[in-house]
A = this chain, B = another copy of it.
């Protein structure tokens, strides 16, 4: 049996890994880009109820950058980055697109931190905010969207910029929020760039195995032998684990920092690494190739388990031990990680690994297990159908064909989350921009001098579309 953890390849898990990737890179560069001023906004705790606690407020952090702005009385836009399930990070690895394109747009930049993450904490300390379902209850996508609506409205008023066009930009969960903000609050933004937003990965809209299938395809495209090795490794790992001193043997083979206490600690870990490598397989990092090359290195080794172990030791650094989390550590991390709460309430993404064309162990999504785990973690039960009731998805093509405008859904097709994204144009202004070789949120993330042409083209196309929205808005609102 695979433990439930390995079947939570939700955005959150990946973001955890990503944030460690980011941290590594960020330690080399600057953490906060220059010209950003950090501010606090007094935000309403509960926008939709009016009970005794609803009038509580908290300080929501946001960053603002005036450097490139044309000003309030011009046609210059305001670009709002919609923060996702993490501390607000302003570096060139996350939101580079907004900063590098700001001189072109003459845009004001506003980056909003999502409630309950980073410093935007409604209850004094993070420990207090994450204490139980009473304190966590106000962590929801609807409240987060209303936060943005209220903050943007007030900010525009304070800047006397009521007529300035606002564009929402976000990636991953933040991309969903950007798209939903445009749809639910069309008076707040004139358009949205939703990068790698899997808004269709709810209920049964997207095949549950979409994510794992794309990960597997990525590995297979990199190396058929690597794909086969991984596919065959699970059985070998399990077999070894059941043998006498099997866990000890596995611990030694993978050079884990402490002895494994269960085989799932290892299989979950490996699976997560495959997920992350695929999701963030950027042109200048090529994590899948890198790992596959390490796995494929010794052509004489035929045991898939030994190949995998060598590969992981190689990418981890031969002298470094492999840090595998225990179930208890995972649980504790999860309990203090807001995305887990969100996944346990409304953001139920039924991701699983099933079918022949994939390299993972067969494990169908099991809602009952998922719910019981949420009950244990937070004493809440998920509402698995709420997101599609609140935001749709099921009939998105039919509904948005004649309703709504100005959304770019951008996706890189090597990103496993692209399987739940909008990959085809819905109307002339609700459009899909995809790249075959792109990965998760690549278009809005860092740009490098070595960027391939297809990535530069994607970004240019996005700029062109954004330009057209702004021009149209301004032609209607700034008649000279």
**Chain A interface residues toward B at CB < 8 A:** 44, 46-52, 54-55, 133-134, 136-140, 142-143, 146, 149-150, 153, 183-188, 341, 345-346, 380-381, 383, 385-386, 389-390, 392, 394-396, 398-406, 429, 476-477
Contacts and interface: CB of A to CB of B under 8 A. Distances in A.
B140 A398 contact: no
A134 to B, nearest CB: 5
A48 B50 contact: no
A134 B346 contact: no
B51 A140 contact: no
A137 B476 contact: no
B50 A345 contact: yes
A50 B149 contact: no
Contacts of A136: 50-51
Copy total for this chain: 2
B50 A133 contact: yes
A142 B51 CA distance: 14
A426 to B, nearest CB: 12
Contact of A134 (B51, B398, B399): B51
Given A49-B46, A51-B137, A184 B187 contact: no
A150 B389 contact: yes
9 contacts: A48-B142, A49-B137, A49-B138, A50-B345, A52-B134, A149-B390, A183-B186, A402-B429, A403-B403
A112 to B, nearest CB: 15
Contact of A187 (B186, B381, B394): B394
Contacts of A46: 49
A404 B186 contact: yes
B50 A346 contact: yes
Given A403-B405, A404-B404, A48 B143 contact: yes
Contacts of A395: 187
Given A51-B134, A404-B186, A477-B398, A146 B345 contact: no
Contact of A49 (B49, B55, B150, B403): B49
Contact of A403 (B44, B50, B186): B186
A187 B405 contact: no
Helix, strand, loop or mixed for chain A's interface? Answer: loop
A177 to B, nearest CB: 14
Given A134-B51, A134-B52, A402 B403 contact: no
Nearest to A150: B389
A390 B52 contact: no
Contacts of A404: 186, 403-404
Among A49, A149, A341, the one with the most B-chain Cβ atoms within 10 Å of its Cβ is A49
Given A46-B49, A49-B140, A187 B477 contact: no
Among A143, A381, A403, the one with the most B-chain Cβ atoms within 10 Å of its Cβ is A403
A188 B398 CA distance: 12
A389 B153 contact: yes
Nearest to A429: B402
A403 to B, nearest CB: 4
A449 to B, nearest CB: 39
B133 A186 contact: no
A386 B404 CA distance: 22
A47 B385 CA distance: 12
A381 B55 CA distance: 8
Among A44, A389, A392, A396, the one with the most B-chain Cβ atoms within 10 Å of its Cβ is A389
A136 B150 CA distance: 23
Given A52-B133, A187-B394, 9 more contacts: A46-B49, A47-B386, A48-B143, A50-B341, A51-B134, A52-B137, A150-B389, A153-B389, A403-B404
Nearest to A381: B55
A392 B385 CA distance: 28
A345 B390 CA distance: 23
Contacts of A153: 385, 389
Contacts of A345: 50
Nearest to A379: B52
Contacts of A140: 48-50
Nearest to A143: B48
Contacts of A386: 47
Nearest to A393: B187
A210 to B, nearest CB: 21
